[in-house]
């Protein structure tokens, strides 16, 4: 395994040095290790490698000072817009959290009086009241307490 890593490292080094178009030699030493070098070993048997010529990648064209400034301004503007959008999102989330906290506080205050009331009713469209039985009132209390726990995460 170690020799594979060494071999890979050597190949990378060889490929990087190929840009100079020097000869590359490969040989195996007495311990069975493979070596690569730009010089043949003295008294050893080495094989000259036939490596492809390195391709030269075209670089980034030179930009004028004006073009560079335009790109920089565009980047600064884009980053500023992104920053403002994030701030706006944070403010919106903070506002929603504040509204939720107020809602939960009002809900909790109403729940604190819930056990004191003995009569609950539904108001009909004509304005008359239909009172709940004790079992219906208990179910109503339980339902409101569960709704509070679901929405506000507290017992």
What does the pLDDT look like over 12-46, one tens digit per residue?
A: 554 554 444 568 888 788 888 888 888 888 777 88
User: Residue 6: how many CB atoms within 10 A of its CB?
Assistant: 14
**34 in helix, strand or coil?**
strand
Render pLDDT for 112-138 as a digit per residue (tens, 0 to 9): 888 788 788 889 999 999 999 989 888
Of 106, 105, 114, which Cα lies nearest the Cα of 140? 114
| Whole-number pLDDT of residue 49 | 78
Alpha helices in the chain (DSSP H): 2-17, 65-114, 134-152
Q: pTM score, two decimals?
A: 0.45
- Could you state, in order of their start, the residue ranges of all structural domains in the chain? 2-48, 65-152
CA–CA distance, 97 with 134 (Å, rounded to integer): 36
Q: What are phi and psi of 15, to 5 degrees?
A: -65, -35
> What are the φ and ψ backbone dihedral angles of 124, each rounded to 5 degrees?
-80, 170
């Amino acid at each position: 395994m170690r020799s594979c890593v060494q071999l890979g490292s050597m190949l990378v080094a060889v490929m990087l040095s190929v840009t100079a178009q020097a000869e590359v030699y490969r040989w195996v030493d007495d311990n069975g290790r493979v070596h690569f070098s730009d010089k043949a070993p003295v008294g050893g048997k080495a094989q000259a490698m036939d490596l492809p010529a390195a391709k030269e990648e075209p670089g980034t064209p030179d930009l004028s000072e004006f073009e560079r400034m335009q790109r920089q301004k565009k980047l600064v503007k884009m980053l500023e817009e992104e920053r403002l959008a994030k701030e706006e999102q944070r403010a919106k989330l903070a506002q929603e959290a504040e509204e939720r906290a107020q809602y939960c506080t009002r809900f909790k205050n109403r729940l604190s009086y819930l056990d004191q009331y003995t009569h609950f009713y539904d108001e009909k469209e004509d304005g008359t009241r239909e009172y709940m039985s004790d079992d219906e009132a208990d179910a109503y209390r339980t339902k409101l307490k569960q709704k509070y726990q679901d929405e506000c995460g507290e017992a």
